[in-house]
Structure 1
């Protein structure tokens, strides 16, 4: 399941003001030392996507990724969006410095 807070919905609606509304994809941005993280981008729906609609905007995510991520919460606070899920940091990383992980 994807949950979008009212503040996040308002920011998305302001972005689309005067524009054609297109789906917003939630995707795996990285799985490095800091652990996996999710990001958002405009995209087209695929047959393998789960689709959730909030305030006439479709939020799409690959079903397999959604199963791994668990519920995804999208919020807007301060100056940006925050995506939270059950994805955990990569095991074995003891810290990152200068773009590399300690072992």
Structure 2
């Protein structure tokens, strides 16, 4: 399961308010890359076959089966501070992260390290 903080819920409700059925959910995914091996991605999307779907305060969060093992138990937060503003993922599966926090690796999978975008 993936959870959302109150601030993430508030921002997502505003973002999804006028979207159609093809963009009615927050998709969280993991792709190879970043200096630690895996990078997070997020998009407004619809539900697809083989997605895990979570309902959080009336919002749909979807994660594809391949990404689920990497983000299960994570929390998505929305922050606005001196470092910037945006969504951030707190991931209990990450054994290490890069300095900017946008890539990670797990204890059992180092992914494909490269440069951070």
Give, in angstroms, the shift of residue 28 of structure 1: 1.4
RMSD: 2.6
Partner of 1:14: 14
State yes or no: 1:83 paired with 2:84. no
Q: TM-score, normalised by structure 1?
A: 0.74
Larger Rg: 1
**1:42-84 deviation per Cα after TM superposition (whole angstroms, max 9, x unaligned):** 1221221110112221110012321233312100111110013
Alpha carbons of 1:29 and 1:84: their partners in 2 closer, same or farther (altered >3 Å)? farther
Distance 2:43 2:112 in 1: 30
- For the residue of structure 1 that corresponds to 2:40, the secondary structure is strand
Give the unaligned 5+ runs of structure 1: none
Which portions of structure 1, spanning 4 or more consecutive aligned residues, are displaced by more than 6 angstroms? none
CA contact (8 A) 1:39 1:83 kept: no
Q: Which segment is superposed worse, 57-66 or 5-14?
A: 57-66
Q: Give the match for residue 65 of structure 1.
A: 67
Between the aligned partners of 2:89 and 2:67, the Cα distance in structure 1 is 14
Who is 2:44 aligned against?
A: 42
**C-alpha separation in 2, matches of 1:8 and 1:71:** 16
